[in-house]
A = this chain, B = another copy of it.
């Protein structure tokens, strides 16, 4: 039996752990007496784009040892490469579906696994529907990942916990750095999250270790204005020397939009940049205290040296569950996680229809945002805390981590 796996969308620290999970579980199942045919797994380079160009890597050959598998599991970003590619609506351009069907059938692919976010789940929904409607034997299974934690039908997404751990640890160190001078000062950390503020909100976990910062937390889910922001900062400065702010890149002040670049990405998402730098300038000009902004940038999605052990384990389990769905002959499904309890923390794996997940953004719950729209509740701390537990030691050489790379 032959399978194909591809990765899509923005990189995370856990997406390769899901790849490992699918791969290992397919082989574990392949050893069952019920399956006579040997298992073969193809990695597809650069997502759907690489599939259209039949750029494959044989995972049986590439992952020969347990060390290879372990290194891949701990390697950040998408080892197979990624793409930003949106399938057209069925009926709009069927030729691309025909081509994909032809390639998958020609290569005797039993199931095509697609690891990605809600855009990729759109691909899983459309492609599985097309293949079923055209009596193709090929099945499609979606494996969720995103640092944004914004997929519906699941408690959280693989990749989020590691990003949250990076952001919290980095801000904790920034707090130490920002409070050395005995003068009033403001530090502004800009955190990823275009439409949903989960990652920015997760900085509240520092409270678990007695940090009172971030003192102000702003999400795209709340109304935001420059004037209210400056009032909030002034109020905080009256109470303490150093004010730490966590601001989502997706925060949209109606009273200032000059910081936007105005360009859109391939999915039509507005490309945001610079709310942190913009607010820094506002504080400098309007309040006149020492101020610095920090954009945590791509580091928050690729810092595997700070990966959450919980996250990597779950990402692998989600991949394994996807392989089991394939062995059951399912198609058009996406793996989900349901939280059974916070303490002891426990999740159950399940699945749902891909079109229930596709294209929908799960917002951060308003019940966990303070009335003033600038803080996060203790209930959210309990939600986030289990997701950042445990450390993953990188494989070091020469004082630096090593990463898995597929031969080109």
Contact = CB atoms under 8 A, between A and B. Distances in A.
Interface stretch (A130-138, A219-227, A228-236, A302-310): A302-310
B389 A302 contact: no
A401 B388 CA distance: 12
A209 B208 CA distance: 38
Nearest to A165: B399
A299 B294 contact: yes
A84 interface: yes
Interface string A186-211: 00000000000000000001101100
Contacts of A208: 398, 400
Interface stretch (A75-83, A87-95, A101-109, A247-255): A75-83
B390 A305 contact: no
A350 interface: no
Most buried by B among A46, A292, A299, A389: A299
Nearest to A304: B173
Interface residues of A, number: 57
Given A182-B49, A399-B389, A177 B209 contact: no
A400 B209 contact: yes
A261 to B, nearest CB: 9
A170 interface: yes
B400 A205 contact: yes
A294 B297 contact: yes
Contacts of A45: 182
A256 interface: no
A302 B174 contact: yes
30 contacts: A11-B176, A11-B177, A11-B180, A45-B182, A49-B182, A76-B177, A77-B176, A77-B179, A81-B179, A82-B181, A84-B181, A165-B399, A169-B305, A169-B400, A169-B401, A170-B299, A173-B303, A173-B304, A177-B301, A205-B399, A208-B398, A209-B398, A209-B400, A209-B402, A292-B297, A294-B295, A294-B298, A385-B398, A388-B399, A391-B396
Given A172-B401, A172-B403, 8 more contacts: A11-B176, A11-B180, A50-B182, A76-B176, A83-B181, A176-B403, A209-B400, A388-B399
